[in-house]
Amino acid sequence: MGMTSRWIDTRTSNETVPDPLAISNWDHIEIYCDNARQAAHFYMWGFGFRPIAYRGPETGHRESASYVLAQGEIRLVLTSPLSPRHPIASQLLFHGDTVHSIALTVPHCEAYYHEAMLRGASSASAPCLLEDEHGQVKMASIRTYGDVQHPLVERGSYKGAFLPGFVPYERFFKVPSGLPNAGLTAIDHVVGNVELGAMQPWVDFYAKTLGFSQMQKFSDQDISTEYSALMSRVMADGSGKVKFPINEPAQGRRKSQIDEYLQFHQGPGVQHIALRTNDIISTVTSLRNQGIHFLRVPATYYDEVPKRVGEIKQDLMKVKELGILVDRDDEGYLLQLFTKPLQDRPTLFFELIQREGSRGFGIGNFKALFEAIEREQALRGNL
Ligand code: FE2
130-154 pLDDT, tens digit each: 999 999 999 999 999 999 999 999 9
- Ligand 1 centroid, distance to 191 Cα (angstroms): 7
- Ligand 1 centroid, distance to 245 Cα (angstroms): 8
- Ligand 1 centroid, distance to 264 Cα (angstroms): 20
**Residue 257 above 90 pLDDT?**
no
- Ligand 1 centroid, distance to 258 Cα (angstroms): 14
**Residue 247 above 70 pLDDT?**
yes
pLDDT of the residue at 364: 84
pLDDT of the residue at 175: 96
Q: In this predicted model, which residue has the larger pLDDT, 257 or 333?
A: 333
- Ligand 1 centroid, distance to 174 Cα (angstroms): 34
Please name each of the domains of the chain with its CATH number.
Answer: 4-171 (3.10.180.10), 184-380 (3.10.180.10)
pLDDT of the residue at 368: 80
pLDDT tens digits for range 100-124: 999 999 999 999 999 999 999 999 9
- Ligand 1 centroid, distance to 189 Cα (angstroms): 7
pLDDT of the residue at 1: 52
Name the DSSP class of 339: B
pLDDT of the residue at 87: 94
**Residue 15 above 90 pLDDT?**
no
Q: What is the mean pLDDT of residues 24-42?
A: 98
pLDDT of the residue at 12: 56
Q: In this predicted model, which residue has the larger pLDDT, 102 or 366?
A: 102
- Ligand 1 centroid, distance to 187 Cα (angstroms): 11
Q: Which residues make up the environment of ion ligand 1, defined by Cβ < 5 Å?
A: 274, 351
Amino acid at 224: S
pLDDT tens digits for range 276-309: 999 999 999 999 999 999 998 888 899 889 998 9
Pairing assessment for the beta strands 98-105 and 123-132 based on DSSP bridges: unpaired
**Backbone φ, ψ for residue 136 (5° rounding):** -120, 145
- Ligand 1 centroid, distance to 274 Cα (angstroms): 6
Pick from 200, 203, 196, 206: which is nearest to 248 by CA? 196
Q: What is the CA radius of gyration of the chain?
A: 21
The percent of residues above 70 in pLDDT, for the chain, comes to: 97
pLDDT tens digits for range 163-219: 999 999 999 999 999 999 999 999 999 999 999 999 999 999 999 999 999 987 777
Q: How many CB atoms lie within 10 A of CB 255?
A: 16
Category of 93 on φ-ψ map: left (φ > 0), alpha (ψ -120 to 50) or beta: alpha
pLDDT of the residue at 100: 98
Q: What is the mean pLDDT of residues 2-14?
A: 74
**Residue 14 above 60 pLDDT?**
no
- Ligand 1 centroid, distance to 159 Cα (angstroms): 33
- Ligand 1 centroid, distance to 337 Cα (angstroms): 9
Q: How far apart are CA 248 and CA 270, in angstroms?
A: 12
For residue 228, CA distances in Å to 121, 133, 210, 260 come to 33, 54, 32, 11
